[in-house]
Amino acid sequence: MTPVQVWISAARLRTLPLSVSGIIVGSALAYHAGVFRWDICILALLATLGFQVLSNFANDYGDGVKGTDNHERIGPARAMQSGLLTAKQLKNGMIFTATLTLLISIALIYTAFGWERFLESTLFFVLGVLAILAAIKYTVGKGAYGYRGLGDLFVFIFFGLVAVVGSYYLYALHLDWTVFLPALTIGFLSIAVLNLNNMRDRLSDTRANKNTLAVFLGATKVKYYHYSLILGAFLASLLFFYLTNTFLWSAIAFVVFIPLGKHLIHVSKNENPALLDPELKKVALATFFFSVLFTLGFLF
């Protein structure tokens, strides 16, 4: 592999559609409210992609250093685990990506608020810094929260609430409580992707002392937790469409819950964690296509 191919592999491009789903939904809500702007949309997408790539580099580094990525790991081999990148190279990649993403975030904040709205600019700058720290601290360092069962909470906050509600605020400069409902949908589905990853790796994570929520709950309870995430996403969407009288426009987005229903049947019958690996892609793509169909409903 060439150096460029190695870094592209480490960036894990397959994770990027999920990361932008919240921004797409927030932008669709802004379009529906008549406040959509292309400059904000593009910068928000770039910043989110930066956060996700940073997180992927940090996870590669953190799990590699701790020895969590070993021969027992079921998913695709990572760059450090495979010897394609050293710990120092990944550190440098993290520094570069974090710096670039912070600069894009500053440009986004200025584009949305200018110099006049100082308090909001400060708040979103702090959110940007926290997002960078969250991306790194998931697996890096002694206090890595991903090893303490807190990954699900942070995914919900940043992939759901911050991505959808935060991006909507950048456009509208005010909050509408109904935007929290699609934020719940994206947040729950994003957690479901992480939970599948943790269900797949539960046994190897247990031996590596990576105490994810799947490790805490065990093989049976974690399945019920997974069912509740998908059901919660469905109910939040249903309530949003009902309360905003947009059901007929965006009901097409409900199509994604058909394959998600089949996915739940597969999870309920699963006895081999390795066979859950393909399900990650299905739920991630279902989340992305929900955001796309949600947007198309408002456009047409």
Q: What percent of the chain has pLDDT over 90?
A: 54
| Radius of gyration of the chain measured on its C-alpha atoms | 19
Q: How far is CA 191 from the centre of its chain?
A: 8
Phi first, then psi: what are they for 210, rounded to 5°? -95, 100
Closest by alpha carbon to 25, among 227, 246, 232, 226? 246
Euclidean distance between CA atoms 264 and 257, whole angstroms: 10
pLDDT at 76: 61
Better-scored residue on pLDDT, 60 or 31: 31
- Where is average pLDDT lowest: 36-50, 184-198, 206-220, 261-275? 206-220
pLDDT category at 268 given cuts 50, 70, 90 is very high
Is 10:57 a contact under the CB 8 Å cutoff? yes
- Kindly report the average pLDDT of the chain as a whole number: 88
Question: Cα(first)–Cα(last) distance of the chain, in Å?
Answer: 44
Handedness of CA 89, 74, 279, 232 (dihedral sign): negative
For residue range 186-243, what is the model confidence (pLDDT) as tens digits?
999 999 999 998 999 888 888 878 888 889 998 899 999 999 999 999 999 999 988 8
Distances (CA, A) of 270 to 76, 86, 129, 165, 274: 20, 36, 39, 35, 9
Residues 6+ away with beta carbon under 8 Å from 114: none
Evaluate if residue 3 carries a pLDDT over 60. Answer: yes
Euclidean distance between CA atoms 293 and 175, whole angstroms: 23
pLDDT at 113: 93
Cβ of 64: how many Cβ atoms within 10 Å?
21
Euclidean distance between CA atoms 274 and 88, whole angstroms: 31
**Residue whose structure tokens are 């996915």:** 263
Handedness of CA 240, 245, 250, 255 (dihedral sign): positive
Q: Own/partner pairs for 150-154, CB < 8 Å, 24+ apart?
A: 151/194, 151/198, 151/212, 151/213, 152/191, 152/194, 152/195, 152/213
This prediction has a pTM of 0.91
**Residue whose structure tokens are 């919240």:** 22
